[in-house]
Amino acid sequence: MRPLEGVRVVDFSTLLPGPMAGLILAEAGAEVIKVERPKVGEDARYNIPRFGDDASVNFALLNRGKRSVAVDLKDPDSVEAMKRLIASADIVLEQFRPGVMDRLGLGYEALREVNSSLIYCAITGYGQSGPKANFAAHDLNYVADTGLLGLAADRTGAPVVPHALVADIGGGTMPAVISILLALRVAEKTGEGAFLDVSMTDNLFAWEYWATGIVDVGEEAPAPASGRVSGGSARYQVYQAKCGRWLAVAPLEDRFWSIFTRLIELEPEFIDDAPHPMATRDRVAEILGGRTAEEWMATFDGHDVCVNVVRTIAEAKADPHFAARGIFAGEISDGKNTLVPIPPPFAPALRDTSITASYPGLGQDNDLLEGKG
């Protein structure tokens, strides 16, 4: 039995944070009912690249195994139908700006009247209160506002646009799922639901805990390309090999550093990197640039040096290690094309990797609004 079997989720969210949270709940066994606009559905259906005739890769990946109802939320009769559906739900998930669901008649206070045990999770950029509560922004804005983007600067001080959507997933999706699971536990004990205010920016500060701690004791946050794990150490760097490929080198502890420096034959005057870390970094870069990545990995083979090659996504997915762990099991299919599902970020013992499920067609489950199913 998957842990959330029997749990019903009504999901009003779109794009990334909420849909990925819903995906995780669905992978854990919950019935997730996606609420979309009639005729057009949610915007992510039309992203590129495309997957088959009626969806995007993005939509197919994030909405595997869900159901779909197409509802005009500005129509009073549709709102009443949604209330009847939510009366049988355990969780409502939404990521509108604060106040939108209230204006539609589907806010927490209205819904708790029909379902007192309802867990209502609202994901927003800045939370339900505060001067920026209705501020328009995206992931890049959130990481900028919390100082995280400033920490991820290159050696010139220019911030680097991150490829990982840390705010959406790390500040939105994961805290939402954690909060929902905790609230479910409380509801099991007390029968009472909860309103969960999930602010992506609030939750980003956990991702820079070390920097905020440094500031709190009166020191300056690490400057660009400085700090032990942010570019200021020869022991935690990305170095380019002769072939043009890059090596991720992280022998931070002395026991790893001593093996690494011996294998690359680093001169004694550079081994103690504390006095002049950048001099050591430059010398290590020079040495590693003299041989190919393949040659270096052969040299390091069998030794604990914390070094590997920076891979492409395709190379990572073809890694025998991940294949052996079965994290890319199952498939998403539209009948003609297939995709590999997103590996659920929870322990294998809590999921069924044999499940094959597709994304829902727009409004395919509208009979739910009539009390069927």
List 168, 202, 273, 365, catalytic entry: 168
Query: Which tokens go with 59?
Result: 């939509």
Active site (annotated) includes residue 303? no
- The DSSP-derived string for 151-182 is HSB-TTS-B---SS-IIIIIIIIHHHHHHHHH
- The DSSP-derived string for 6-22 is T-EEEE---SSHHHHHH
List 77, 138, 154, 304, catalytic entry: 138
279-318 burial: b if 16+ Cβ within 10 Å, else e: ebbebbeebbeeeebeebeeebeeeebbbebeeeeeeeee
> How many angstroms separate the CA atoms of 62 and 332, rounded?
10
Active site (annotated) includes residue 168? yes
- Burial, 347: exposed, middle or buried (Cβ in 10 Å; 0-12, 13-18, 19+)? exposed
Q: Which residues are catalytic?
A: 138, 168
